[in-house]
Amino acid sequence: MLNLALLKSEIVLGALALGLLAADLLLPEGRKRALYGLALLACGISLFLTGSALLPAPGVFGAGVPLPLPTGGGPAAALGAGVGTLWSVDPFSLFLKMVVLGSTVLALLLTMDDSSIPDSEAGSFSCLLLLSAVGMMLLVSATDLLLIFVSLELVSIASFILVGYERRNPKSNEGSLKYFIFGAFSSAVMAYGISLFYGATGATSLVAAKPQGAMALMGLLFILVGFGFKAAIAPMHFWVPDAYEGAPTPVTAYLSVAPKLAAMGALARLLTALVPAGSMDLTLLLSLLCGLTMTWGNLVALFQRNIKRLLAYSSIAQAGYIMMGIVTGDAMGLQGILIYSFVYVAMNIGAFALAVALAADRSDALDPYDLDSFDGLSSRSLPAALAMTLFLLSLAGIPPLAGFIGKFYLIGSAVGTAHYGLAIVAVLNSVVSVYYYMSVCYRMFFTAPRKGARVPRFGAGIYAAAALALAVTLFFGVFPHRLAVWAQFSAKFLP
């Protein structure tokens, strides 16, 4: 029973997700919008259960006292952490679970004001979003390849449906189909890799396995393909632009952060704690993938005229930055992964929240997410233009915003472990990203608004999501030590 008690957050969230689906069948059409509130409540309950094990530690708002790391019964049950048969619930996984749940809350807030999701489908949509979150929460705790595979499939199947949720939108159908095809291929490759790994080690448990030889190495490489697909690591990223452009914007915002961060967290556990990359001579390969991912994402983003595609390629580049922490594998690198994951959720979903608000104003255009939606925004809504500028500057890593501290830790870990070439590539890519982020800012402040442009209207959900995201971006930019201390404690594995 201890094993199941460690997963109480996932069990509660999964049960409430199924409850939402049942309520969707029972409620009349006019009252189904209330299910968004129940979905937010479900996330809040799960967030409380998850955070209660982590908040007594040195935290965001106070000094605190470090908690001991439990390894079995007694203290494990009290702290909500410990090692199960297939999973490990430790500070690292608890931190990322809170990030996933925070992403889900912000995506639900955006959905409440997005017209592409009818209120009559609030229950089924929320259920899929919560089940996807359950898969990610299991993924960041998994220490067995079978649970990793099942968790990724739960996330993928829910994501396929969410991307194609606008059934009458050809772009949504195209994006979902491409996502499905690439996902099916990567799943097959990953399953084959798991079979090779099992053949080489005689176990699927990564805690007990001692991989050696060419077969185990080949298995790990195939498993890396599966993670690369979910985290949008180049060259396994080709599904991203079309899927992000075609999906409903709240889904795009969600997919751009939560699955990527969960996959990176699981990959960090695999290649730093369970099967260190250096022991399998994978460090050079990971460095090349890291550099390729951030470079390709930033270079292609330079030529985008659709804000969703621009942020899609930006998210590919962000995956490259986060991957630096896996390449280095040291304490600072793991802290950088956690810090950047936390702030990336805020600044990226905040940017999407502004895009949703502006798209609602585009009744005169075929593409409501074209960059000309931002023309003259400062003259129509100065607070919105300033908020978008802060989100973009944070994505670029400009101090004193939260994105800077994340990149500082990641690039610092590369320098500290003598990965100087990777650090230089990261700095150069950050400079490149400033150009396309600032091109959006230029439109907002120095371009005349288009004829007939109106003041954007913010619904309560969009306003709440943007305000929360902006508060995180500013607070942890000005007081980075609060988040750094929390991440320092959380960058610990149990196995």
The label of the residue with tokens 């949720």 reads 165
CA distance 375 to 439: 11
First to last CA, the chain: 19
CA distance 214 to 310: 40
The label of the residue with tokens 């109480």 reads 8
Domain-wise residue ranges, the chain = 2-490
pTM above 0.85, yes or no: yes
CA distance 400 to 405: 8
- Please give the pLDDT value at position 234: 86
Residues 6+ away with beta carbon under 8 Å from 239: 175, 178, 179, 181, 182, 183, 229
At position 436, the amino acid (one-letter code) is: Y
Task: Give me the tens of pLDDT residue by residue for the chain, a chain 495 residues long.
Answer: 457 778 889 999 999 999 999 998 888 877 888 899 999 999 999 999 998 877 654 444 444 444 444 444 443 443 457 787 888 898 999 999 999 999 999 999 999 888 788 888 889 999 999 999 999 999 999 999 999 999 999 999 999 999 998 888 888 899 899 899 989 999 999 999 999 999 999 888 888 777 888 899 999 999 998 898 888 898 888 888 889 988 999 999 999 999 999 999 999 999 988 888 777 888 999 999 999 999 999 999 999 999 999 999 999 999 999 999 999 989 999 999 999 999 999 999 999 999 888 887 655 555 778 888 898 999 888 999 999 999 999 999 999 999 999 999 999 999 999 999 999 999 999 999 999 999 999 999 999 887 767 777 788 899 999 999 999 999 999 999 989 998 998 888 876
CA distances from 360 to 249, 250, 255, 348, 356 (A): 11, 13, 21, 19, 6
Token digits for 29? 């059409």
- Please give the pLDDT value at position 203: 87
The label of the residue with tokens 């472990």 reads 417
